[in-house]
Amino acid sequence: MARTATGESVLSRAVRILEAFTPGERVLSVSQIARRAGLHLATASRLIAELESHGLLDRDPDRRVRVGGRMWELALRASPTPGLRDASMPFMTDAHAVLGQHLQLGVLDGDEVLFVERLSAHGAVINDTPIAGRLPLHASSSGLVLLAFGSRELQERILAQRLRRYTAATITEADALRAALADVRRQGYACLPGHVHEGALGVAVPIQRDDRSAAARPTAVAALAAIVPVGTEARTVVGVLRTAARGISRTLGDAPPDPSR
């Protein structure tokens, strides 16, 4: 692969350009991209033009840059979760009709929860996490479920980190997080009032494959969460989510093995 005088590959620079975009900033100028990617303006402009020629980037009429449709197409092909999303949508739709608030489907990606699907409603409580958005595992109900039912190595790694605070309620101490994880494993759900937004209550349950050969220690392939106003009766929300999660788990258990894995 071609490399620059500094030894960095062209691909590495292209990746930095793509990473300049965020869920909240989907259209950027060339100079913004160059600054965020740490590239000379001319270098950034040349690489952007090449990525554009492959459909990975696109231009607005004002020449600002956005991620191209080809990137979305490739991402859908490469996604590890198409079967999960397909299995989840009918049950998420039913749960959303009952709750009338945000529903999110999250999966573990590194040390974060990645939200791969979301259903929203007009007038629902504040929730800034879009599809393809991320949150640290300790802060959100989905993340806490994935962490509680994740590997011990993952748990110890997160417990050793400096935990970001979003509100006064956010768990930021290792001992408090360890206790919260034990509670989630014991009760089978996470309930976090005001941990990301003061007025929002996150409730999440694990989605597990309905597989009798699974290891004795429970694991979660995903988390299903509802974001509702603080003060909502959590027990009702948990019941709706558990019903949906069981349906998703059964569907995943009936699905044929993925030959690509």
CATH assignment of the domain containing 209: 3.30.450.40
Give pLDDT, residue 214: 47
Please state the pTM of the whole predicted model: 0.74
Helix or strand (DSSP H, E) at 145: helix 141-148
CATH assignment of the domain containing 53: 1.10.10.10
**Residue span of the structural domain in which 238 resides:** 79-254
Tokens matching residue 13: 């620079």
The amino acid that residue 14 corresponds to is: A
**How many folded domains does the chain comprise?**
2
Domain end marker among 74, 94, 120: 74
If pLDDT is split at 50, 70 and 90, which confidence band does 257 have? very low
Listed range (94-108, 203-217, 232-246) with the worst mean pLDDT? 203-217
Alpha-carbon span 138 to 151, nearest angstrom: 15
Contact 13, 47 (CB under 8 A): yes
Shared domain for 124 and 211, answered yes or no, is: yes
Q: What is the mean pLDDT of residues 65-92?
A: 81
- Cα→Cα distances 259→242, 248, 254, 255, Å: 29, 20, 15, 12
Contact 82, 105 (CB under 8 A): no
Q: What is the mean pLDDT of residues 247-256?
A: 79
Give pLDDT, residue 216: 53
Shared domain for 83 and 68, answered yes or no, is: no
pLDDT at 244 over 80: yes
Give pLDDT, residue 127: 73
pLDDT tens digits for range 163-213: 999 999 999 999 999 999 999 999 999 999 999 999 999 999 999 875 544
Shared domain for 69 and 89, answered yes or no, is: no
Burial class (CB in 10 A: 0-12, 13-18, 19+), 4: exposed
Alpha-carbon span 124 to 94, nearest angstrom: 17
Give pLDDT, residue 70: 87
Domain end marker among 59, 74, 89: 74
Strands in 57-59's sheet, in edge-to-edge order, are 27-28, 65-67, 57-59
Find all residues with CB under 8 Å of 223, minimum gap 6, and list them: 105, 106, 107, 113, 141, 142, 143, 145, 146, 204, 205, 206, 207
Domain end marker among 19, 41, 74: 74
The amino acid that residue 196 corresponds to is: V
